Structure 1
Amino acid sequence: MVATKPQPRHIALMPGDGIGAEVVAAAEQVLTQLRDHHHVDISWDTLEWPSTAWHQEHGRMMPEDAMHRVKGYDALLLGALGDPGPTSDPQRYRLPDGISLAPLLAFRKELDLWACERPARLLPGAPQFLADPRAADIDMLVIRENSEGEYVNQGGRMHRGTPNEVATQLEVFTRRATERLIRHAFLRARRRLVLRGETKQFYCAEKGQAFAQLCLVTKRNAQPAWGELYSEVFDEIAREFPEIGTRHELVDAACMKFVQCPWEFDVVVASNLHGDILTDLAAVLSGGLGLAPSCNINPDSRAMPALFEPTHGSAPDIAGQGLANPSAMLLTTAMMLEWLGFTAAGEQLRAAVAADLVSNGHRNRNCQEITQGIIAAL
């Protein structure tokens, strides 16, 4: 069978705020290398929005027609959003998180990017914060629901500033969104099993043998309405995947076990809020936020561009100093390349980041030095 050549792709680079500009510049250098020397047919535009600077000039984070404009790209590569600024500088233009981070929710909802995937793998040479030598085997994928749940932003506050003030925050969970999320998680577990072969299996006591494993995380003992919905759908879909071992953890126990024995997790599926918390914890366990990639995708459709972003945030305290680690952004770029069909290039870039970590991870380097080391490894 003759392999099909990937189609030309056109993406948007969105530096955003803080260190976003530095890590996106690193990604652009790597993309240029891949385009010019590795035959990756990709082009890009760099957008000044969304960003705090755009808000300062225009009174909003991005243009009114931003959603229409981004739909013309194959993918969006975002640096970071949010710039509260140092409180010691009264002249610094500052925005509350509810405004500066709003474009993230807008992209996820308007582009129907209902799944957030965050792999957590401890690469050789990366900082290992757990003393147990088994921590070297951390290799999990956390899949977070991205479209509803705790982040629907329905509710409000009444009688503000008075003793009778009331704040309500409504959570919304639908069977449709639950089914598509959990089915996708089983499919990802199956794919990891195929790609991994026999190199890493998990023993399933219920089935009496080793399988790939999918862990559902809820808080169904305290929030039974949606927790039971998730559990029932999980059990229904599990019958279609007999090769996948299953387990369930309450979110507080999952947090404890992420620290106690993270090597026992394979694929984890969770709600919007729980996934958000667990993925940051998993990132630290796999070397820190400077090595944590993520993507926001619609696994069922490529009609809209997917959004790729590292998990580290804008880090305004070190912005502009060249201290940012671009590795998370470059691992995110590798995920984007694979999503766009440039599978070999994505694997090459991931291997280059890993090789640079092994050779130079012990050294204290700036953003540009790390970028050049990874390009050399390519």
Structure 2
Amino acid sequence: MVKIGVIPGDGVGPEVTAQGLAVLELVGGLDGFRYELEEFDLGGERYMATGEVLTDATLARLRSCRAILLGAVGHPGVPPGVLEKGILLKLRFDFQQYINLRPVHLYPGVQTPIRDKGPDDIDMLVVRENNEDLYVGVGGFTRKGTPEEVALQTSVNTRAGVERCVRYAFEQARKRAGAGPFRGLSKADRDAGMTRQVTLVAKTNVLTFAHDLWMRTFEEVGREYPDIKRDYQHVDACCMRMVVSPERFDVIVTTNMFGDIITDLGAVLQGGMGLAASGNLNPEGTAPSMFEPVHGSAPDIAGKGIANPLASVLSVAMMLDHLDVPAAAARIRRAVAQVLAEPGPRTPDLGGKATTAEVGRAVVEALRA
């Protein structure tokens, strides 16, 4: 029996999580996956009512789970950073979820804002380092509130942290090789026996200490994978080329901050935030991994029943992959693809008028078919 923690959270989080759980219940029965859920009341409403964000006792209960499904964190009534640092970053750091994994995949039937690009052109995987860089909270103020104020925010990068992230990216590239070679390789690359590509995204020409460490580690680890091509892009060039020629990217590995930025760009390429799933992974399984749609709490549409639930559904599929139930994960992705390929219900972000529940039901019906 697998224990799964559920944090519906804020805004549209409870709405989309409900649809993800309905899909999980169905595939669990179809594939014989036995699990139990424990729901956790965490988020803005609880904080405003009690002043609590995430207690040690709740953290211990979450640690007993194999995985966590998160809806969203963020509330307009709570100062910025309180919930994000107190819940999201605390879970990522305390549970050593050092990989943030974000697929960028354009499904047939979904429009991308890039002209003349289709599903064959947009299919990349971003491996974002998740426990270091500017997010560790090292810094402070001097003379705060005065004209001479100084604010410092320090990027922290360790060899161990960088290496485990880079190695994970190369391993993911090898797994993707099982689905066939990367179309972006040159004939010379293919003749040399290369099957996939990993691109390091950094800023080595300016961040000459931290990103020198990233580049040296990338080159050293990469030599252990002669079948994987090594590529490098400055982050600004990467953003430009993701728009102009997304087909040149296969697996991207990058820092915490840069990964945060380019994955939102990737979400737009794949049709919007409503389709963007993610996993915060503890690859060794020493603590639970956490899966979440990346669209946030979207307070402007909370309670209207029009949020796209597919990112939550696809996050459930990522969770099942992590829990070694790949058949159920694949079943969910096929159902989502079927719903998107047909002229069926779509939420307003995809140009339709359907509700969150109607799209969720369409996925369930596709699973039952």
Superimposed CA distance per residue, residues 254-281 of structure 1 (whole angstroms, 9 cap, x where no aligned partner): 1111111111100000000001101110
Tell me the TM-score normalized by structure 2. 0.94
- Aligned residue for 1:5? none
Give 4+ residue runs of structure 1 displaced > 6 Å after superposition: none
- Aligned residue for 1:59? 51
Question: How many Å apart are 1:342 and its aligned residue?
Answer: 1.3
Q: Which amino acid aligns with 1:63?
A: T
- Aligned residue for 2:115? 131
Q: How does 1:4-43 map to 2 (within 5 A)?
A: 8-43=1-36
Mapped to 1, the partners of 2:182 and 2:238 lie a distance apart of: 24
Q: Which amino acid aligns with 1:80?
A: A
Q: Is the 8 A contact 2:173 2:228 kept in 1?
A: yes
Taking structure 1 as reference, are residues 302 and 353 closer, same or farther at Cα in structure 2, changes over 3 Å only? same
- Aligned residue for 2:329? 346
- Aligned residue for 2:230? 246
74, 83, 86: which one aligns with 1:82 = 74
2:172 maps to 1:188: yes
- Aligned residue for 1:70? 62
Range with bigger deviation, 196-205 or 263-272 = 196-205
Q: Is the 8 A contact 1:128 1:135 kept in 2?
A: no
355, 359, 364: which one aligns with 1:375 = 364
242, 256, 267: which one aligns with 2:240 = 256
Tell me the TM-score normalized by structure 1. 0.91
2:81 maps to 1:98: yes
Q: How does 1:294-373 map to 2 (within 5 A)?
A: 294-299=278-283, 301-359=284-342, 360=344, 361=346, 363-373=352-362
Question: How many Å apart are 1:340 and its aligned residue?
Answer: 0.7
Q: Is the 8 A contact 1:80 1:309 kept in 2?
A: yes
Q: Which amino acid aligns with 2:244?
A: Q
Range with bigger deviation, 74-83 or 202-211 = 202-211
Superimposed CA distance per residue, residues 204-252 of structure 1 (whole angstroms, 9 cap, x where no aligned partner): 7677655300000111111100111111111111111000011100001
Q: Is the 8 A contact 2:184 2:248 kept in 1?
A: no
Mapped to 2, the partners of 1:36 and 1:265 lie a distance apart of: 37
Question: How many Å apart are 1:66 and its aligned residue?
Answer: 2.1
Superimposed CA distance per residue, residues 150-203 of structure 1 (whole angstroms, 9 cap, x where no aligned partner): 211111111122111111111111111111111111111111012x12474522
Superimposed CA distance per residue, residues 11-66 of structure 1 (whole angstroms, 9 cap, x where no aligned partner): 011100000010111112112222344422122112111x0011012102223322
Mapped to 2, the partners of 1:205 and 1:199 lie a distance apart of: 13
Range with bigger deviation, 71-80 or 133-142 = 133-142
Q: 5+ unaligned residues in a row in structure 2: which ranges?
A: none
2:271 maps to 1:284: no
